[in-house]
Amino acid sequence: MDDSSILLLLKNSPSKGLYEVTKKYGGMVEAITRKILYNTAEDIEECVADTFVTLWKNTNDVEFERGTLKGYIACIARNKAIDRYRKLCKESTVYMEDKDIVSDTDIEEEIVIKSDVEVLQGVINQMGEPDKEIFIRRFFWFEKVKEIAAHLELTEKNVENRIYRGKKRLKQVLTERGVTI
């Protein structure tokens, strides 16, 4: 089933849409979260579920002009896993802290970060292949250079060079668009 059909199902029949999207992208989401939350199956499972619930809640926000559904889901999974990781780190080191206070600056910072991520996603989606896939695998899926090189049948040095040049291009484009780095 193609991505536009899945999105249509998510809007019209959420349970069927969630079934199809998890069938198609569930393995990818689990792999991304496992690389970040390598500790417990319970945390990974919860993060995977949170990813698809977030996708379902934001179905109307998905625009194909910005990129693919796969990239959008990968970004959600990565962010959910990082948030979960941070939460687990805080819980293991902070004993007495008022976690319920949310300031205006926290909300403003979250909005800025979300818009920056959208710009970053757009820039990466405009990259040619294999650079786009290298960036997604390296910075969203946290694959090692060796794994990327083997998968794309490139040398490790070639992958490293593409990452270096791509990061320079990204920095330039993001600076031009007003994203602070």
> CATH number for the 102-181 domain, one of 1.10.10.10, 3.90.1150.10, 3.30.70.3270, 3.30.300.180?
1.10.10.10
For the record, the structure tokens of 67 come out as 């990129």
CATH architecture designation of domain 1-98: Orthogonal Bundle (1.10)
Q: Which residues contact 30 (CB under 8 A, 6 or more apart)?
A: 44, 48
What one-character DSSP code corresponds to residue 103? -
Domain residue spans in the chain? 1-98, 102-181
What one-character DSSP code corresponds to residue 65? T
What one-character DSSP code corresponds to residue 128? P
Cα 130 to chain centroid, rounded: 18
Q: Which helix (H) or strand (E) holds 172?
A: helix 156-176
Task: Report how far residue 58's alpha carbon sits from residue 162's, in angstroms, rounded to the nearest whole number.
Answer: 33
pLDDT at 102: 44
Task: Report how far residue 128's alpha carbon sits from residue 37's, in angstroms, rounded to the nearest whole number.
Answer: 30
Contact 179, 116 (CB under 8 A): yes
- Match 């650079």 to its residue by tokens: 131
The tens-digit pLDDT sequence of the chain (181 residues) is 888 888 888 888 888 888 888 899 888 888 888 887 766 778 888 888 888 888 888 877 766 545 577 878 888 888 888 888 877 776 654 444 444 444 444 555 555 555 556 667 777 777 888 888 888 888 777 788 998 999 899 999 999 999 898 888 888 877 776 665 5
Q: Give the type of residue at 7.
A: L
Task: Report how far residue 81's alpha carbon sits from residue 157's, in angstroms, rounded to the nearest whole number.
Answer: 29
Task: Report how far residue 77's alpha carbon sits from residue 51's, in angstroms, rounded to the nearest whole number.
Answer: 5
pTM: 0.54
Task: Report how far residue 146's alpha carbon sits from residue 154's, in angstroms, rounded to the nearest whole number.
Answer: 9
pLDDT at 18: 86
Task: Report how far residue 178's alpha carbon sits from residue 118's, in angstroms, rounded to the nearest whole number.
Answer: 13
**First CA to last CA distance, the chain:** 38
